[in-house]
Amino acid sequence: MAGQIKLAIKHISKTYQSERGEMLALHDINLGITENEFVTVIGPSGCGKSTLLNIIAGLEQATTGQIFCDGAAVEGTGSERGVVFQQYALFPWLTVRQNVAFGLKIRQDKSAAAMARVARYIDMVGLTDFAERYPKELSGGMRQRVAIARAYAADPAVLLMDEPFGALDAQTRGQLQEELLKTWEKEQKTCFFITHDVDEAILLGQRIVIMDARPGTVKEIVNVDLAYPRNQQTRLSEEFLAIKKHVWEQVYSGAAV
Ligand SMILES: Nc1ncnc2c1ncn2[C@@H]1O[C@H](COP(=O)(O)OP(=O)(O)OP(=O)(O)O)[C@@H](O)[C@H]1O
């Protein structure tokens, strides 16, 4: 794929030590993700998706291999790599606005420009009317919107998302997929997005990394050449269904997802 490599995953392997001995969770993963590319990752449970994301985020260490972000070796967490998890990691004692502002690089920045930036991302996820509310007053979907707004407001070069919509009902999930697509089209960003959902992987991804388990490896990379803008209607197109059939067969030909 053309373009500059933003994130390089080179020969990543991960072995966990457990009471029952060693467990090879990831074996020699290699992947180059270009600037502003949206890559989705799918594969059977336990194939090492979260382990790989955590290594890219710098939350876990690889046993062998290295991650490079803009050519620099990743040695730990860093503000250029933002993470959104399945569970809404919001601060319960802060309002929506304060939670989103917390993501700003310069947290003490109370300038009009910084506040406008916070307001823009709250608006982007449709929560302007809820800006002064606390997380406990919000639904699950709204909380996840706050987490996404916060991640975007921090303006990381790379956004790492580990099943961010996994806990949501189908309708909210569909809405958030569309919001994320719109945001990504407007504010291009390099995205690495884990999902269990074949439709979601296709709808959001420019490329889909299909992984295999025991040990976790890259089984296949599928290009998704669907036009933008994409929305829920896209799922009904013949091109979409053809890709879906292929991905489905690849994912389900191994262990259960
Ligand atoms: N801290 C740990 N210690 C030992 N084994 C671990 C640890 N973390 C993960 N594993 C094992 O590594 C493998 C990969 O786990 P991981 O959570 O990365 O998979 P996954 O593809 O994200 O799974 P799922 O889709 O179910 O979330 C699994 O077999 C898991 O049991």
Q: What is the pLDDT of residues 38-59, one digit of tens each?
A: 999 999 999 999 999 999 999 9
47 CA: nearest ligand 1 atom = 21
107: pLDDT strictly greater than 70: no
Angle, vertex CA 135, rays to CA 204 and CA 85, nearest 5: 35
Cis amide bond preceding 135, omega within 30: no
Q: Whose CA is nearest to atom 5 of ligand 1?
A: 16
Q: Which residues lie with the beta carbon below 6 Å from any ligand 1 atom?
A: 16, 18, 23, 25, 45-51
Q: Whose CA is nearest to atom 4 of ligand 1?
A: 16
Which atom, in ligand 1's list, is nearest to the CA of 51? Answer: 18
H or E stretch at 34: strand 21-34
Question: pTM for the complete prediction?
Answer: 0.92
Ligand 1 atom nearest the C-alpha of 196 is: 25
* Structure tokens, 169: 């009902």
Distance CA 231, CA 234 (A): 5
Residue whose entry in the numeric block shows the structure tokens 């291999």: 65
User: Nearest C-alpha to atom 23 of ligand 1 is from which residue?
Assistant: 46
* The pLDDT of residue 2: 61
Q: Kindly give, in sequence order, each residue whose CB lies less than 8 Å from that of residue 212, ignoring residues fewer than 6 positions away.
A: 43, 44, 47, 218, 219, 254
pLDDT at 256: 47
The yes-or-no verdict on residue 202 having pLDDT over 90 is yes
Residues 6+ apart with CB under 8 A from 234: 203, 226, 240
Our mutation pick for probing the ligand 1 site, out of 14, 16, 86, counting the most ligand atoms within 8 A of Cβ, is 16
Identify the residue with better confidence: 163 or 155: 163
CA of residue 77 to ligand 1 center, whole Å: 20
Residue 109 binned pLDDT confidence (cut-offs 50, 70, 90): low
Average pLDDT rounded to a whole number, residues 206-217: 96
**Is residue 255 pLDDT above 70, yes or no?**
no
* Model pLDDT, residue 154: 86
Q: What φ, ψ does residue 131 adopt, rounded to 5°?
A: -60, -30
The full length of the chain comes to: 257
* Model confidence at 241: pLDDT above 50: yes
The candidate with the shortest Cα–Cα distance to 37, out of 132, 195, 158, is 158
Gap between the Cα atoms of 58 and 75, Å rounded: 6
66: its two tokens: 């290295």
pLDDT tier at 128, thresholds 50, 70, 90: very high
End-to-end Cα separation, the chain, in angstroms: 28
Pocket probe for ligand 1: among 12, 22, 41, 47, the residue whose CB has the most ligand atoms within 8 Å is 47
Residue 257 has pLDDT above 50, yes or no: no
Q: In what order do the strands lie in the sheet with 21-34?
A: 21-34, 5-18, 64-69, 72-73
